[in-house]
Chain A
Amino acid sequence: MEATEILFLIIAAITVISAAIVAFSNKIIYAAFSLLLTLFGFAALYVYLSADFIAVSQVMIYVGGILILILFGVLMTQRIYDVSVKSERNPVLPTLLTAIGSAVVLGLIIFKTPWRQVADSGYAPITERIGQAIMGDFLLPFEIASILLLAALIGSVFIARAEEKK
């Protein structure tokens, strides 16, 4: 086994285990910091898939933006030193049914489908091709996404602002 494959297995293990901690941890702050490891693991997996631009975007947007927002939400809404949490979770039976059902379906799809395997295309910088595609074929979705971001910005500021006293 090559060194890159061993590193890949370590990264995959870190990603999956920290995702499990996010799902099963009862302390929400542990889940938030574990989500940090998961997002970094995904960025490393994107590098293995020769998606360098998306790996950097992942680190900047998810780790630098969304995770900070989530930590902000945790610290604003949760008394983190309050350990007497009575019922943190929903009943376990629907969760178990959902998890097993989706696991069976996804496992059947993954292992029964004859995937068309192509030769490894190697690692090449891809940012230039992404820029040309966004400015070419995907120009309309790009503009719509910018309008969506503006609307989300204004809407979230409007929702989250303090109510004026009359």
Chain B
Amino acid sequence: MISLQTYLIISALVFIFGLIAVVNKKNAVGILMGVELILNSVNLNFIAFAKYVDLSIKGQIIAIFVIILAAAEAAVALAIVLNIYRYRSTIDVTTVDLMKN
């Protein structure tokens, strides 16, 4: 029988990789991939708790809403990235500092 902690360890590993991608990459699309990894790991946690601790399907419902939010976030973020690329010809997030000063 697969225990709850196995799922939590997988989820934690993927969460840390997503965090590394968000903090370390300069490419805006790479950062978006890191965000997707983080959202997926959180979803895995919700569903694992729904099966092993809560014994109801509330965790799965919350996972569905997380998927919906991730879809909306990806669409809007990629539209913003494409717009930045059209005006600046780069998607390096460290050079897009128009609102810094």
Which residues of A are found within 8 Å of B30, using beta-carbon distances? 28, 31
Which residues of B are found within 8 Å of A12, using beta-carbon distances? 6, 10
Which of A54, A74, A115 lies in contact with B60, CB distance below 8 A?
Answer: A54
Contact-residue size bin, chain B (C-beta under 8 Å from the other chain): 35 or more
Contact-residue size bin, chain A (C-beta under 8 Å from the other chain): 35 or more
Knowing A90-B25, A98-B19 touch, does A73 contact B82 (C-beta < 8 A)?
yes
Which residues of B are found within 8 Å of A39, using beta-carbon distances? 36, 40
Which of A46, A87, A90, A117 lies in contact with B52, CB distance below 8 A?
Answer: A117
CA–CA, A76 and B44, complex, Å: 31
Q: What is the distance, in angstroms, from A57's C-beta to the closest C-beta of chain B? A: 6
Which residues of B are found within 8 Å of A5, using beta-carbon distances? 2
Tell me the total A-B contact number using a CB cutoff of 8 A.
214
- The reply to whether A73 and B29 contact each other, CB–CB distance below 8 Å, is yes
CA–CA, A111 and B33, complex, Å: 28
- The reply to whether B82 and A49 contact each other, CB–CB distance below 8 Å, is no
Give a binary string over A74-113; 1 marks a CB under 8 Å from any B CB, 0 the rest: 1011100000000111101011001100110011001100
Residue A126 interfacial (CB < 8 Å): yes
Which residues of A are found within 8 Å of B5, using beta-carbon distances? 110-111, 115
CA–CA, A102 and B5, complex, Å: 17
Residue A3 interfacial (CB < 8 Å): no
- The reply to whether B16 and A159 contact each other, CB–CB distance below 8 Å, is no
Footprint of A on B, CB under 8 Å? 1-10, 12-21, 23-30, 32-34, 36-37, 40, 43-44, 47-48, 50-53, 55, 57-58, 60-61, 63-65, 67-76, 78-83, 85, 91, 94
Footprint of B on A, CB under 8 Å? 5, 8, 12, 15-16, 19-20, 22-24, 28, 31-32, 35, 38-39, 42, 45-46, 48-51, 53-54, 57-58, 61-62, 65-66, 69-70, 72-74, 76-78, 87-90, 92, 94-95, 98-99, 102-103, 106-107, 110-111, 115-118, 120-121, 126, 129-130, 133-134, 138, 141, 145, 148-149, 152-153, 155-157, 159-160
